[in-house]
Amino acid sequence: CLYCDDTVSGCFMRVLVIGGTGFIGYHAVRALQSSGEEVVVMCRDTASVTELFGAGVCAIPGDIGKLQSDDYRELLDGFDAVVFAAGVDERSEVQGDAEDYFHRANVVPCEALFKAIPQTRVRRAVLLNSIFAWYDHQRPDMQLAGKHPYIRSRVEQDRVSHAAIANSDCVLVTLQVPWVF
C-alpha cells in the first residue's frame, strides 16, 4: 500500500489525480484503481471521467490555470495522496510568448498545489514530469533547459514542487516519464 508501506489487504488511500483524463493520467487512475485505492479525478470535463472509468471514479471539476494555493488547500481536504498529471507538453500549440505559456501551464499550477500540501493531510505525492528534464540532468553539456522553454518549465516545475514541501512530512516523487510509458 502506498499509504502505509505495507501489503495489508483492505488498506487504501483516497487519491486525487489532477489531469486523470489525459494519456498518462488515465493509466495512473487505472493503476490506482487496480490497487484498491479510492480515486477522484479533477479535470475540466467531468463527463469524460464517466466515459473513461464508469461510475467507479468520481470527478471534481477544476482548471489548474485558475486555482491558487488556498483553492488547492480546500480541494485536498480528505485526501491522503495526490498525483499531478496535468499541464502541457512539447507538442502543444504555443499561444503567445513560449516562455510565459509553458511557465503558466506547467510551473505555476504545481507551485500553488505543492505550497498547499503542508497544510493538508496529504503525505504522498507524485509529479508526472518529462523525459526532457531527465535528459537535461543527464547531459548538462547540452544545456537543454537553457535552449527550450518547455524543457525549462519542466525542470522548474520539479524544483518549485520539491521546494514547496521541503519542510513538510509529505513524500514527493517526480517521475520523468519517457515517451513510451
179 band by pLDDT with thresholds 50, 70 and 90: low
> Does the pLDDT value for residue 3 go beyond 50?
no
> Does the pLDDT value for residue 22 go beyond 60?
yes
> Does the pLDDT value for residue 9 go beyond 50?
no
What is d(CA 49, CA 69) in angstroms, rounded to the nearest whole number? 24
Backbone angles phi, psi at 180, to 5 degrees: -100, 105
What is d(CA 43, CA 48) in angstroms, rounded to the nearest whole number? 9
pLDDT of res. 2: 40
- Helices 131-138 and 149-164 pack at an angle, to 10 degrees, of 90
> Does the pLDDT value for residue 5 go beyond 80?
no
> Does the pLDDT value for residue 1 go beyond 50?
no
> Does the pLDDT value for residue 10 go beyond 90?
no
Q: What is the DSSP letter of 25?
A: H
What is d(CA 98, CA 150) in angstroms, rounded to the nearest whole number? 8
DSSP string covering 54-119:
GGGSEEEE--TTT--HHHHHHHTTT-SEEEE--S--TTS---S-HHHHHIIIIIHHHHHHHHHGGG
